[in-house]
Amino acid sequence: MPVAKPVSSDGRVIAHIDMDCFYVQVEQRKHPELRGLPTAVVQYNSWKGGALIAVGYEARALGIKRSMRGEEAKAVCPQIHLVQVPVARGKADLNSYREAGSEVVSILARMGRCERASIDEVYLDLTDAAETMLSETPPESLEIIDDEALKSHILGLKHEDGSDMKENVKGWLRRSDADHREKLLACGVLIVADLRMQVLQETQFTCSAGISHNKMLSKLASAMNKPAQQTVVPCSSVQGLLESLPIKKMKQLGGKLGSSLQSDLEVNFVGDLLQFSEQKLQECYGINTGTWLWNIARGISGEEVEGRLLTKSHGSGKTFPGPRALKTLHSVQHWLNQLCEELSERLQTDLDQNRRIAHTLTLHARAYMSSDSDSHKKFPSKSCPLRYGTTKMQEDAMNLFQAGLREYLGPFEVKMQGNKKNGWGITGLSVSAGKISDIPSGTSSIMRYFQGHDRLCSPSKLAKEKFELEAPCSFSENESNSTLDIIEHTKLPEEEATVNNESSDLESMEHKTSTNSLEVPFYSSMSSLKKADFSQETPLSFSGRESHLEPKLTDLQSKVSSKESTFEPGRPASEQQVKRNALRDKGTPSLLRFFRRVDPSCSIQSQVLAQSSDDTNIRSSLENNNSIHGDSLSEDVQRREMWQYNVDEIDPSVIDELPSEIQEEVRAWLRPQKRQANSARRSVGIADYFSRNKKL
CB 50 → DNA: shortest distance, Å? 8
Report which of 403, 356, 518, 457 is spatially closest to residue 686, judged by C-alpha positions: 457
Cα–Cα distance between 170 and 149 in angstroms, integer? 9
Nearer to DNA by Cβ, of 322 and 587: the residue is: 322
Q: Which amino acid is at 105?
A: V
Nearer to DNA by Cβ, of 368 and 475: the residue is: 368
Answer for the pair 507, 331: CB distance below 8 angstroms, yes or no. yes
CB 170 → DNA: shortest distance, Å? 31
Nearer to DNA by Cβ, of 2 and 299: the residue is: 2
CB 286 → DNA: shortest distance, Å? 5
Phi, psi of 435 (to 5 degrees): 50, 55
Nearer to DNA by Cβ, of 430 and 590: the residue is: 430
Provide the 10 A C-beta neighbour count for residue 52. 23
Nearer to DNA by Cβ, of 159 and 249: the residue is: 249
CB 677 → DNA: shortest distance, Å? 5
Cα–Cα distance between 388 and 536 in angstroms, integer? 12
Report which of 194, 219, 218, 310 is spatially closest to residue 595, judged by C-alpha positions: 194
As a dihedral over the C-alpha atoms of residue 663, residue 667, residue 668, residue 669, rounded to 10 degrees, the angle is: 100
Cα–Cα distance between 268 and 260 in angstroms, integer? 10
Nearer to DNA by Cβ, of 365 and 484: the residue is: 365
CB 645 → DNA: shortest distance, Å? 19
CB 444 → DNA: shortest distance, Å? 26
CB 260 → DNA: shortest distance, Å? 8
What's 366's DSSP letter?
E
Provide the 10 A C-beta neighbour count for residue 516. 9
Nearer to DNA by Cβ, of 115 and 615: the residue is: 115
What residues have CB less than 8 Å from 572, skipping those under 6 apart?
A: none
Report which of 381, 371, 375 is spatially closest to residue 414, judged by C-alpha positions: 371
Residues in contact with DNA by CB under 7 A are: 1-3, 43-44, 46-47, 51, 53, 66-67, 91-94, 98, 118, 120-121, 250-258, 286, 288-289, 306, 311-319, 321-322, 324, 342, 360, 362, 366, 368, 378, 380-383, 427-428, 430, 432, 435, 676-678
CB 175 → DNA: shortest distance, Å? 32
What's 519's DSSP letter?
T
CB 354 → DNA: shortest distance, Å? 13
Nearer to DNA by Cβ, of 156 and 286: the residue is: 286
Return the SS3 of 342.
Answer: helix
CB 524 → DNA: shortest distance, Å? 26
Quickly list H helices, 533-601: 545-567, 573-583
Sign of CA dihedral 629, 630, 636, 638: positive
CB 217 → DNA: shortest distance, Å? 14
Which DSSP string corresponds to 4-19?
----------EEEEEE
Q: Strands across the sheet with 207-212, in order? A: 113-118, 121-125, 14-19, 207-212, 230-232, 153-154
Answer for the pair 116, 298: CB distance below 8 angstroms, yes or no. no
Nearer to DNA by Cβ, of 133 and 429: the residue is: 429
Nearer to DNA by Cβ, of 145 and 250: the residue is: 250
Cα end-to-end span (Å), the chain: 57
Cα–Cα distance between 539 and 90 in angstroms, integer? 23
Phi, psi of 193 (to 5 degrees): -60, -40
Cα–Cα distance between 151 and 149 in angstroms, integer? 5
Cα–Cα distance between 342 and 524 in angstroms, integer? 24
Cα–Cα distance between 363 and 429 in angstroms, integer? 7
Estimate the crossing angle of helix 180-203 against helix 127-136, to 10 degrees.
Answer: 110
Q: Which of 121, 148, 537, 665 is catalytic?
A: 121
Nearer to DNA by Cβ, of 390 and 624: the residue is: 390
CB 544 → DNA: shortest distance, Å? 16
Cα–Cα distance between 590 and 567 in angstroms, integer? 10
507 included as an active-site residue: no
What's 611's DSSP letter?
-
> What secondary structure, in 3-state letters, does 132-175 show?
HHHHHCCHHHCCCCCHHHHCCEECCCCCCCCCCHHHHHHHHHHC
Cα–Cα distance between 690 and 49 in angstroms, integer? 61
Query: Largest Cα–Cα distance of the chain, in whole Å?
Result: 90
Nearer to DNA by Cβ, of 53 and 518: the residue is: 53
Return the SS3 of 78.
Answer: coil
The residues carrying an active-site annotation are: 121
